[in-house]
């Protein structure tokens, strides 16, 4: 479920009639919602470590408002509400259907009175929210054309002493051994290469795209924030995966297949098709060697403004 430095699941309008042409880079977030939600659930142990680290920087009793920008279906929103039990948490997303999922999840989790939603195409539309003690942006800044402008807009919404936590980058996820017994060894490395090309094209097509050196601590400093720190968190789910985890893996590889269409050779695409085939004994639903190993990095910085 990763494109380059983009370790989450996307679905998009892959045009199967396009033959060998590279896949488009627009993302249909609404169609992606179920896989985004199950993926975030699978990553919950990693997210919990990250949230606990952020909580070390901010005493829970001081945190009264949290914004989760690019919340997706709200797995992290609810985790943040649990981590900061005195806070109102506002999930901000550009896709209303995802915000419906946030609401439903919050109510199911008994957090309905503290979790609000706000539809906005960030970094626009944040002013009306007022300010927050913590702004979390998980794998969302890279969907904004001008990442510097986005961070500056977030920084402007922080209370003095408040913290920004940006989850961006880490290590490419691994799900299979280097040699899986079918096709040429090293399939996942080649998928990484192809998906990183897709990722750059996806970014370049965003409105207001501005090329940016993705040195997150420096970008946070440029937004007027101080005391930047970075830390990475590991997710290690060894083989054998459960049936539910395998289904998640199939969704992730389906997404990856759409991303690498036209960017990998036909032999590799055929191997991916075998992995996705529920009736193939070498497929992801049957093979005993699949796993999930990944790391994600969280970058924090503090507002010193008054």
Ligand X SMILES: C[S@@+](CC[C@H](N)C(=O)[O-])C[C@H]1O[C@@H](n2cnc3c(N)ncnc32)[C@H](O)[C@@H]1O
Contacts to ligand X by CB under 6 A: 8, 29, 36, 40, 70-72, 75-76, 92-95, 98, 121-122, 138-140, 143-144
- Is 73 or 183 the residue whose CB approaches ligand X more closely? 73
| Nearest distance, CB of residue 124 and ligand X, angstroms | 8
Minimum distance, C-beta of residue 31 to ligand X, in the bound complex (Å) = 11
Which residue number is nearest to ligand X in terms of Cβ?
72
For 8-15, which contacts have Cβ atoms below 8 Å and span 24 or more sequence positions? 8/36, 8/39, 8/40, 8/72, 8/139, 9/35, 9/36, 9/39, 9/251, 9/252, 9/255, 10/36, 10/255, 10/259, 11/35, 11/254, 11/255, 11/258, 12/258, 12/259, 14/258, 14/261
As measured in angstroms, the least distance from the Cβ of 265 to ligand X is: 28
Structure tokens at 286: 């049957």
Q: Which residue number, 62 or 82, has a Cβ lying nearer to ligand X?
A: 82
Q: What is the DSSP letter of 12?
A: B
CB of 180 to ligand X, least distance (A): 27
In this structure, what is the dihedral angle of CA atoms 9, 15, 17, 22, given to the nearest 10 degrees? -80
Collect all residues with Cβ–Cβ distance below 8 Å to 173 and sequence separation of at least 6: 1, 2, 7, 252, 292, 293, 294
Q: Collapsing DSSP states into helix, strand and coil, what is residue 116?
A: strand
CA distance 58 to 263: 44
Between CA 47 and CA 39 the distance in angstroms is 12
Smallest gap, in angstroms, from Cβ of residue 273 to ligand X? 25
Nearer to ligand X, 30 or 61 (CB): 30
Least distance between ligand X and beta carbon 258 (Å): 15
Closer residue to ligand X in complex, CB, 14/180: 14
The Cα 92–Cα 95 span in angstroms is 9
Identify which of residues 187 and 252 has a Cβ nearer to ligand X in the complex: 252
Closest CA to 70 of 95, 45, 87, 47: 95
Task: Kindly tell me which of 142 and 159 has the beta carbon lying closer to ligand X.
Answer: 142
- Nearest distance from C-beta of residue 101 to ligand X, angstroms: 10
Nearer CB in complex with ligand X: 87/285: 87
């Amino acid at each position: 479920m990763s494109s380059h430095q983009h370790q989450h699941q996307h679905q998009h309008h892959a045009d199967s009639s396009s033959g060998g042409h590279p896949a488009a880079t627009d993302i249909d977030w609404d169609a992606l919602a179920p896989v985004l939600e199950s993926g975030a659930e699978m990553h919950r142990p990693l997210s919990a470590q990250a949230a606990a680290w952020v909580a070390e920087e901010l005493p829970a009793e001081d945190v009264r408002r949290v914004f989760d920008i690019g919340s997706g279906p709200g797995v992290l929103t609810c985790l943040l509400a649990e981590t900061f039990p005195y806070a109102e948490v506002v999930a901000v997303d550009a896709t209303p259907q995802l915000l419906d999922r946030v609401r439903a999840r919050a109510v199911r989790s008994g957090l309905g009175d503290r979790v609000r939603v706000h539809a906005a195409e960030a970094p626009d539309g944040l002013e009306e929210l007022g300010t927050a003690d913590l702004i979390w942006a998980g794998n969302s800044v890279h969907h904004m054309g001008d990442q510097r402008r986005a961070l500056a807009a977030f920084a402007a919404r922080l209370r003095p002493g408040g913290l920004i936590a940006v989850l961006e980058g880490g290590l490419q996820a691994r799900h299979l051994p280097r040699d899986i017994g079918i096709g040429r060894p090293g399939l996942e490395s080649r998928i990484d290469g192809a998906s990183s090309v897709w990722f750059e094209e996806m970014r370049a097509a965003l409105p207001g795209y501005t090329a940016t050196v993705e040195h997150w601590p420096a970008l946070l400093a440029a937004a007027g924030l101080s005391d930047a720190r970075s830390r990475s968190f590991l997710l290690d789910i060894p083989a054998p995966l459960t049936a539910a985890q395998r289904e998640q893996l199939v969704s992730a590889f389906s997404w990856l297949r759409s991303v690498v269409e036209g960017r990998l050779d036909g032999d590799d695409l055929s191997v991916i098709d075998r992995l996705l085939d529920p009736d193939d004994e070498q497929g992801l639903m049957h093979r005993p060697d699949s796993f999930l190993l990944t790391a994600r990095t969280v970058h924090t910085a503090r507002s010193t403004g008054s």
